[in-house]
């Protein structure tokens, strides 16, 4: 599979739901490289040089492990292949877990690698079949459609103030720059795959606290907002629904997309959790601390259906945060594993069942037991 970001027309013809998409919904019911025009000082920036973030003239394509990109051998079998034919398209990048956190840090950086390993072990992700990796990082134009250019430059060059770092909640390193860029690209790729075959999942993403000019709550560049604006700008769709079911309100996503009539934001979150100062989403549903499975599912179902009816989306970006689980360290709700299964089934059945492509990201989740946390995240796949 070969797709190019930022150039090329959207797929022609009417999108049709693949057998894989139906099967997935049915089952649930039970090194940074190739910035096209990144930072003006990129060539002079030692961090950019270390990461290989020098400007390039052309658009780099995303790559997969399937071996079907490039010229190929011209076989009819290769020509017939498309994402979804060999399993649910799954996006992963080794940089997702590359930064090393200080001992005792609350952000579970290694969990994305654990998700990947679990998917491999369970046979859900198969190298050479349904694994995809972004082959380029977002361009400056894509990032600044959402973020202030001065802020982008400050982060890329490690020129953030102590207050900036405190808000970000993560220690700045070159590896963090690579991870941040690859996470945005991973969600953009996930959206392209979803528009091709109906459903795709990124094994990271959901940086919904990132605002236009500052980081917040472990979120630096808002992958959901960047992706939504990009698919609209390139003419792939006109209307995007961002469904944020993380336990924390998607304040950054709401604030950075509020002026775009093509983007509708739904946030179902805990009313007494971070952030203290909430933004205004297109539809906010704030539930009390201790909310359990039945009330959560019933409320979410109504909000999702009403949002779809109001906006008529052609693509759903789904933040499937598992910090709604009762065992989560930073949660507030009391959902069970069964509740998570019911939630994922609800979202996919409602959206995919209506022929709306879904690009899902794993969102937030916090637990010292990484195996348990990865298992919760993998319910989505």
pTM of the model: 0.82
Note the pLDDT of residue 154: 97
Note the pLDDT of residue 273: 85
Note the pLDDT of residue 54: 28
Of the pLDDT bands very low, low, confident and very high (cuts 50, 70, 90), residue 378 is very high
Note the pLDDT of residue 80: 60
pLDDT of residue 64 exceeding 90: no
CB-CB contact of 53 with 38 (8 Å): yes
pLDDT, one tens digit per residue, over 229-255 is 999 999 999 999 999 999 999 999 999
Alpha-carbon distance 298 to 111, whole Å? 30
Residue 264 has a CB neighbour count (10 Å cut-off) of 23
pLDDT of residue 70 exceeding 60: no
Percent of the chain past pLDDT 90, that is, above it, reads: 74
* Cα atoms in the 13 Å half-sphere on the side-chain side of 151: 19
Give the pLDDT mean for 304-327: 97
Q: Tokens in use for 381?
A: 């796949």
CB-CB contact of 248 with 269 (8 Å): yes
pLDDT of residue 73 exceeding 70: no
Note the pLDDT of residue 77: 45
pLDDT of residue 19 exceeding 70: no
Give the pLDDT mean for 300-309: 98
**81-85, 91-95, 119-123: lowest mean pLDDT where?**
81-85
Of the pLDDT bands very low, low, confident and very high (cuts 50, 70, 90), residue 51 is very low
pLDDT of residue 43 exceeding 80: no
pLDDT, one tens digit per residue, over 139-180 is 999 999 999 999 999 999 999 999 999 999 999 999 999 999
pLDDT of residue 41 exceeding 50: no
SS (H, E, C) the chain: CCEECCCCCCCCCCCCCCHHHHHHHHHHCCCCCCCCCCCCCCCCCHHHHHHCCCCCCCCCEEEECCCCCCCCCCCHHHHHCCCECCECCEECCHHHHCCCCCCCCCCCCCHHHHHHHHHHHCCCCCCCCCEEECCCCCCHHHHHCCCCHHHHHHHHHCCCCHHHHHHHCCCCCHHHHHHHHHHHHHHHHHHHHHHHHCEEEECCCCCCCCCCCCCECCECCCHHHHHHHHHHHCCCCCCEEEEECCCCCCHHHHHHHCCCCCEEEEEEEECCCCCCCCCCCCEEEEECCCCCHHHHHHHHHHHHHHHHHHHCCCEEEEECCCCCECCCCCCCCCECHHHHHHHHHHHHHHHHCCCCCEEEECCCCCCCCHHHHHHHHHCCC
């Amino acid at each position: 599979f070969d797709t190019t970001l930022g150039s090329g027309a959207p797929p022609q013809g009417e999108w049709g739901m693949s057998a894989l998409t139906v099967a997935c919904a049915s089952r649930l019911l039970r090194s940074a490289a190739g910035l096209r025009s990144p930072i003006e000082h990129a060539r002079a920036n030692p961090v950019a040089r270390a990461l290989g973030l020098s400007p390039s003239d052309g658009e780099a394509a995303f790559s997969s492990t399937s071996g079907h990109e490039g010229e190929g051998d011209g076989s009819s079998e290769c020509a017939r292949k498309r994402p979804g034919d060999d399993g649910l398209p799954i996006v992963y990048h080794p940089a997702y877990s590359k930064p090393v956190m200080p001992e005792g840090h609350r952000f579970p950086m290694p969990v994305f690698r654990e998700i990947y390993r679990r998917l491999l072990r369970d046979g859900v992700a198969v190298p050479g079949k349904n694994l995809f990796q972004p082959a380029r990082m977002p361009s400056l134009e894509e990032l600044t459609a959402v973020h202030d250019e001065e802020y982008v430059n400050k982060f890329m060059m490690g020129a953030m103030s102590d207050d900036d770092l405190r808000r970000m909640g993560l220690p700045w390193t070159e590896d963090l720059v690579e991870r941040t860029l690859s996470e945005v690209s991973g969600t953009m790729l996930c959206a392209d795959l979803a528009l091709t075959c109906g459903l795709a999942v990124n094994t990271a993403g959901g940086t919904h606290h990132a605002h236009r000019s500052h980081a917040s709550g472990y979120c630096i560049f808002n992958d959901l907002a960047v992706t939504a604006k990009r698919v609209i700008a390139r003419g792939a769709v006109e209307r995007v629904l961002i469904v944020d079911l993380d336990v924390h309100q998607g304040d950054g996503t709401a604030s950075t997309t509020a002026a775009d009539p093509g983007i509708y934001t739904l946030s179902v979150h805990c009313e007494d959790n971070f952030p203290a100062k909430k933004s205004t989403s297109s539809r906010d549903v704030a539930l009390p601390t201790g909310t359990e499975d039945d009330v959560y599912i019933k409320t979410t179902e109504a909000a999702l259906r009403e949002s779809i009816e109001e906006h008529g989306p052609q693509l759903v970006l789904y933040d499937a945060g598992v910090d709604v689980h009762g065992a989560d360290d930073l949660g507030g709700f009391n959902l069970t594993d069964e509740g998570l299964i019911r939630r994922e089934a609800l979202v996919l059945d409602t959206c995919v069942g209506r022929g709306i492509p879904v690009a899902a990201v794993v969102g937030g989740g916090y637990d010292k037991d990484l195996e348990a946390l990865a298992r919760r995240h993998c319910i989505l796949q």
